[in-house]
Amino acid sequence: CITYNSLINGLCKLQRMAEAEGMIKEMVEKGVSLSIEAYNVLIDAYGRAGYFEKCFDIFEEMQEDMGLKPNVVSYGSLVNGFCKKGMLVEAEALFQDMVSRDVQPNVRIYNILIDAYCKQGELQKARKQVEDMKRSGISPSIVTYNTLIKGLSVRGNLTEAQDLALRLRDEGLSPDAITYTILISAYCNTSSTQKAIELYKEMEKLGLRPTSSTYHALISQMSIEGRMQDAENLFEEMLQRKLLPD
């Protein structure tokens, strides 16, 4: 099962979807039972490529051939495909369709929608989606917060982004390396270098591992400011951590 999945997944990632699909057809003909995961990776790959018709075909095929009902991952994959192409109307419609079929949403599919709203600059809709999610009994995850924090940062609302980063603790969550990297990059981009450095230190204190993009943001900002020694020190530190410069 895992081997089939990784094989199909590998083919999909290599954009050899026709082969992946052919393999599935062959398996169906031989009467080999296919997992829902195998179908889902196919939906994901076609969705990312924008072949939405194909996705709907697969939704039907999986039911007809294997009696598999699409689950939240099947829907999530296609909703994500729509969202990444900016097709929010279709994404919302599909989400509603899923709910009407009694497939329970989870935090991840909400996050997909929330991210799409943020990327379109629809912060109000994003927040509303978070409220809807909470009301239906689903708690936000750190990804939910990171998504909102990024959305706010991009629109220059760093104050609120920073505030959210504090408030996520009220939900029993802890910021992760991505939370810090988003904020550090945002502060660097607005030349609030001191603030960025403070966050970097805080991150260290919490034992969160900076990534190469965390360093990249700090080092390039320091270079811009002519703080070559600081930049070099950070560069050394990055190398010591076996992170490659990007």
Considering the complex, state which of residue 161 and residue 226 has its C-beta at the smaller distance from RNA: 161
Instruction: Pick the closer one to RNA by CB: 144 or 221.
Output: 144
C-beta of 52 vs 226, nearer to RNA: 52
| Smallest distance, RNA to C-beta of residue 198, A | 18
| Nearer Cβ to RNA (146/193) | 146
Binding mask 93-122 for RNA (x = CB under 7 A): -------------xxxx-xx--x-------
Decide whether 150 or 162 has the Cβ nearer to RNA.
Answer: 150
Residues 82/90, Cβ–Cβ less than 8 Å: yes
Compute CA distances 194 → 80, 166, 200, 202, 235, whole Å.
37, 19, 10, 12, 18
Residue list 4-43, contact with RNA (CB under 7 A):
5-6, 9, 36-37, 40-41
Tell me if 216 contacts RNA by CB under 7 A: yes
Query: Closest approach of Cβ 70 to RNA, in Å?
Result: 10
In the complex, minimum distance from the CB of residue 40 to RNA, in angstroms, rounded to a whole number: 3
Residues within window 173-202 making contact with RNA, judged by CB under 7 A: 177-178, 181-182, 185
Nearer to RNA, 57 or 106 (CB): 106
d(CA 152, CA 41): 31
- Report the nearest approach of RNA to the CB of residue 113 (Å): 9
What's the number of CA atoms in the CB half-sphere (13 Å) around residue 165? 25
Which spans of this chain sit near RNA (rule: CB under 7 A)? Answer: 2, 5-6, 9, 36-37, 40-41, 44, 71-74, 76-77, 80, 106-109, 111-112, 115, 141-144, 146-147, 150, 177-178, 181-182, 185, 211-214, 216, 246
